[in-house]
Copies of this chain bind each other. A is one copy, B any other.
């Protein structure tokens, strides 16, 4: 069994990933958790460099996230957006006043030549986050959604068009030439890898698309566990279920487990989907059934603890295999 100080590497997108990351941060010493975050949703808007998933994870871990939306900051105001609307500016992507400070400061620093990793580390520290939050890469990778209305930049599809155009395929522009974050090139001794309950196609896939990352994960002899983002055939949040259907997958936790086949050793399945366990086990993936719904901070801690127990149990069976 891995030493308890060995690290957990968690792969996360936005809201769902951030919730489990918060649970993991509660269960682990600060230096034992590294959250690798998708940056393929990042975009330039209003002249600002916006990193929605990094910010959702950062705000959540800092305890300043908006509990209603899951994104943005709590006790937010919208004065800049209102004034921008008065000036004829674009307001379809809602940026609160406090949140804007993050984008303004990040943009300023990136322009001075700092890396996204360095800026993220400092902003997170300033907000009181103690574990490591790292972008999957410091290079620009951008999700392009090929739809029945043509190719769309991710936020155009996701926010401006409310995910409505049917998805035919996805690609991650810039991924092929991106350099993974150092922690993905040369990971420390790991207790395990946790794929958070994030969208497999637009949150996790971009991380895996950065050259070497998927290979590194497949090669490592540590437990790799995914937590389902689908319960009862529905996504907890976001367009994962719609994407499963439109991309020809089973709209279920089984569809997700199949998608991760070859990458993971274990799958955390919601109790509502317990009936899918045999089919997932038939893929050669161990299953842990639990309540995966994270309604409050206690739920997040409980799911994190259960996931870590599963990781450790898998470590024991890996040792015996």
Chain A interface (Cβ < 8 Å from any Cβ of B): 46-48, 73, 77, 79-84, 86-89, 97-102, 104-105, 107-108, 111, 122-123, 126-127
Contacts and interface: CB of A to CB of B under 8 A. Distances in A.
Nearest to A102: B87
A50 B172 CA distance: 35
B97 A79 contact: yes
Contact of A80 (B46, B86, B104, B126): B104
Number of copies: 2
Q: In terms of DSSP, what is the predominant structure of the interface of chain A?
A: helix
B104 A46 contact: yes
A83 B77 CA distance: 12
Given A79-B98, A80-B104, A87 B126 contact: yes
Given A82-B98, A83-B99, 13 more contacts: A46-B104, A46-B105, A46-B108, A47-B104, A77-B97, A79-B98, A81-B101, A83-B98, A84-B105, A86-B101, A87-B102, A87-B127, A89-B105
Contacts of A98: 79-80, 82-83
A126 B86 contact: yes
Given A88-B126, A127-B86, A127-B87, A80 B107 contact: no
B77 A89 contact: no
A111 B47 contact: yes
B107 A83 contact: no
B83 A101 contact: yes
Contacts of A122: 88
Given A47-B47, A98-B79, A104 B88 contact: no
Contacts of A48: 47, 104
A108 B97 CA distance: 17
Most chain-B CB neighbours within 10 Å: which of A77, A88, A104, A108?
A: A104
Given A46-B108, A47-B108, A47-B111, A101 B87 contact: yes
Contacts of A89: 101, 104-105, 108
B102 A83 contact: yes
Nearest to A107: B47
6 contacts: A77-B77, A81-B101, A84-B104, A87-B102, A89-B101, A89-B108
B80 A101 contact: yes
A9 B48 CA distance: 37
Nearest to A123: B87
Contacts of A82: 98, 101
A89 B105 CA distance: 6
Q: Which A-B residue pairs are the 4 nearest by beta carbons?
A: A83-B101, A79-B97, A83-B98, A84-B101
A120 to B, nearest CB: 12
A79 B96 CA distance: 10
A44 to B, nearest CB: 9
Contacts of A102: 83, 87
Nearest to A86: B126
Contacts of A105: 46, 84, 87-89
